[in-house]
Amino acid sequence: RHSLWPPASMANLKYRVLLIVGLFAASAWALFPRTVVERVKRDGVFVYDTVRRVPLKRGLDLQGGMHLTLEVDESKQAVANKSEALDRALKVVRQRIDEFGVSEPVVQKVGNDRIIVELPGIDDPERAQDVVQKSAFLEFQITDETGALEKATPRFDEIARAAGIAVGSQAAGTPAAGDSAKSTSVTSLLTQKSDSAPKDSAAVAGTTGTDSAAAKPVAGGLFANNVQPGQIPGQYIVSETAFPAIDRALQLPAIQAAMPPGKVIRWGVVDTVETGAQRFRALYVLDARPIITGEVLTDARPNTDPVEGNVVQFTLNNEGARRFKVETGKHIRDNMAIVLDQKVITAPTLQSAIGRNGQITLGGGTLQAAQDLALVLRAGALPVPLKVAEVRQIGASLGNDSVNKGIFALIVAFGLVLAIMIAYYKLSGALAVAALVLYMVYTMAMLAGFNAVLTLPGLAGFVLSIGIAVDANVLIFERIREELDQGKSVRLAIDEGFRHALSAIVDTSAATILSGMVLYQYGTGPVRGFAVTLVAGLVASLFTAIFVSKTFFLIWLNRSRGTQTLSI
């Protein structure tokens, strides 16, 4: 009765073979070396370049990189609900790291007070820390034109004198008019994109600030002797020697309470400006209420302008564009400060209302600085300040040794399995080894297709899953032996062997898959890499042991017509 197959069985076998061949072709395509775009460092600047490689991503322990532990910074103020704040910060950090260009970063929360960041292959740790930690809270604020600081200076001096804050030498030089203009001039720092409507366009020109520069400095005390008017309204110049005392005084609660109503004081983002033999810092008095904040930004991209240099072009959403246009229209000829993380980047003069598009000019800033600023603006501001609690560098040489040892272990494991299976189960063992080869291809393709990270523990999980895959075949073969010992035909014994062994194989694999999912959910770094490869291997193992192996047996039965004795 086994001499001929029913047509339905032949059709079923055909579909099985087509499915196996199709999956193998898809797997080969997923693992085929291809040209990919990667972020590389050239001449101190990160650029995107094309390289050709197998699309399997290596983890931190295989190619080296950087490990960061972040905590909430409560040095300035306490955070009520750190766990909730850290959840919100996690999303921002993850988005920044994703745009940073690392091949496969790990960003996750650990406990209720820490964020772990792992950056494989990173070779600029200082820049990575800066991108992760930067608050990136952007504000557009109008500079003060009421002389609020001059009016509050006597009170500030009294508070500083009472607190014992003073400069070693109270006589701080005032920069010459020409030198001051050279160091603090602001030219074309905020412009409108060329595709904006003409009525929304803004041309920002340099400011001479002659009226403000001619203002007489107030006399007496820390602030009176060391804070001099700058080139634009609301801008002041502080000598480098007086900066520590002024900065310390501005942090006093009494001075913050004595601040003019509706005003805030911010330092310039450029730390120092050299003018001849003297060094100065810029100080700004701004309206406390910002025109808009970075929350209304929808996009920010770096660019290089032949006149302005490196810039960051930004786009606002509908609400932000409407509000920005109305507010800037009220302040024509006023100076608007662009404030990032409470430091003034620029303070250009508004020549007309600004609509949806604009740009931030970095002056002498590098293109990399523009790229980083655009990156953090797109990702948004951190809800709480973060600090680096721990940083570790992992060398790439260790990774190469680990890869070699892992591959060697994989070859040894496969070789031993091949020898034992063929020696013990003969033809059936050879069929199982053929299925095992497909299993390895399918597993690696799954890792590549889902952008999983291959780590050293992941290689261990892959080797372990080979043993699990063979274990399924052992269960099936032993069951087939039992059916043959009971006198059943070869075809019936194969069918019964696969059917009765199915429940044990599925139960064992399901339990291990659930364990791997728990490890992935609550583990970090290498533990997650182990879990990913283990689960991927188990899924591929179920398919090859149950479906592929049986298909090979059906092909053998079709060729022998069931007349030969099964070698098992």
Phi then psi for 20, rounded to 5 degrees? -65, -45
**Structure tokens, 25:** 């072709």
- Signed CA dihedral, 461, 463, 469, 474: sign only: negative
Tell me the pLDDT tens digit for each residue of 113-151: 888 888 877 766 777 777 777 767 788 899 998 889 999
- Contact between 343 and 268 under an 8 Å Cβ cutoff? The reply is yes
Rounded Cα distance, 432 and 545, in Å: 8
Tell me the pLDDT tens digit for each residue of 43-101: 655 565 666 767 777 777 677 778 888 888 877 777 777 777 788 788 778 777 766 65
pLDDT given at position 142: 92
First to last CA, the chain: 22
The pLDDT of residue 495 is above 80: yes
DSSP 350-371: P-S---SEEEEE-TT--HHHHH
Which residues are CB-contacts of 436 (< 8 A; sequence separation ≥ 6)?
414, 417, 418, 421, 466, 469, 470, 473, 544
Q: DSSP alpha helices (H): ranges in 101-216?
A: 125-133, 148-162, 177-184, 210-213
* Beta bridge pairs of residue 117: 68, 107
Nearest to 398 by CA among 456, 484, 474: 456
Confidence band (pLDDT; 50, 70, 90) for 265?
A: very high
- Contact between 331 and 350 under an 8 Å Cβ cutoff? The reply is yes
Tell me the pLDDT tens digit for each residue of 436-490: 888 888 888 888 877 777 777 777 778 777 877 788 888 888 888 888 888 888 8
- Contact between 122 and 102 under an 8 Å Cβ cutoff? The reply is yes
Q: Angle CA(196)–CA(200)–CA(206) in degrees, nearest 5?
A: 100
Which residues are CB-contacts of 211 (< 8 A; sequence separation ≥ 6)?
none
Mean pLDDT of the chain: 76
Rounded Cα distance, 150 and 219, in Å: 10
- Contact between 463 and 409 under an 8 Å Cβ cutoff? The reply is yes
Q: What is the mean pLDDT of residues 250-265?
A: 90
Domain ranges of the chain: 7-34+395-560, 65-129+382-394, 138-381
- Contact between 102 and 38 under an 8 Å Cβ cutoff? The reply is no
* Alpha-carbon separation of residue 503 from 30, 35, 450, 452, 509 (angstroms): 32, 44, 28, 29, 10
For the packed helices 490-522 and 526-542, what is the interaxial angle rounded to 10 degrees? 160
**Structure tokens, 562:** 């069931």
Q: What is the mean pLDDT of residues 166-170?
A: 61
CA atoms within 13 A on the CB side of 518: 6
**Structure tokens, 92:** 């921002």
CA atoms within 13 A on the CB side of 100: 29
Rounded Cα distance, 559 and 555, in Å: 6
pLDDT given at position 398: 56
Q: What is the mean pLDDT of residues 386-396?
A: 77
* pLDDT above 70 coverage of the chain, percent: 77
DSSP 513-564: HHHHHHHHHH--THHHHHHHHHHHHHHHHHIIIIIIHHHHHHHHHHHHTT-S
Does domain 138-381 fall into CATH 3.40.50.620? no
The pLDDT of residue 174 is above 50: no
- Signed CA dihedral, 134, 138, 143, 147: sign only: negative
Confidence band (pLDDT; 50, 70, 90) for 6?
A: very low
- Contact between 301 and 374 under an 8 Å Cβ cutoff? The reply is yes
The string over 204-232, giving b where at least 16 C-beta atoms fall within 10 Å of a residue's C-beta and e elsewhere, is beebebeebbeeeebeebbbbbbbbbbbb
* Alpha-carbon separation of residue 487 from 4, 41, 495 (angstroms): 21, 70, 14
Q: DSSP alpha helices (H): ranges in 142-196?
A: 148-162, 177-184
Q: What is the mean pLDDT of residues 362-387?
A: 74
CATH classification number, 7-34+395-560, choose in 3.40.50.2300, 3.50.50.60, 1.20.1640.10, 3.40.640.10: 1.20.1640.10
Residue whose pair of structure tokens reads 């192996």 in the numeric block:
549
- Contact between 229 and 133 under an 8 Å Cβ cutoff? The reply is no
- Contact between 145 and 291 under an 8 Å Cβ cutoff? The reply is no
Rounded Cα distance, 342 and 136, in Å: 9
Architecture of domain 65-129+382-394: 2-Layer Sandwich (3.30)
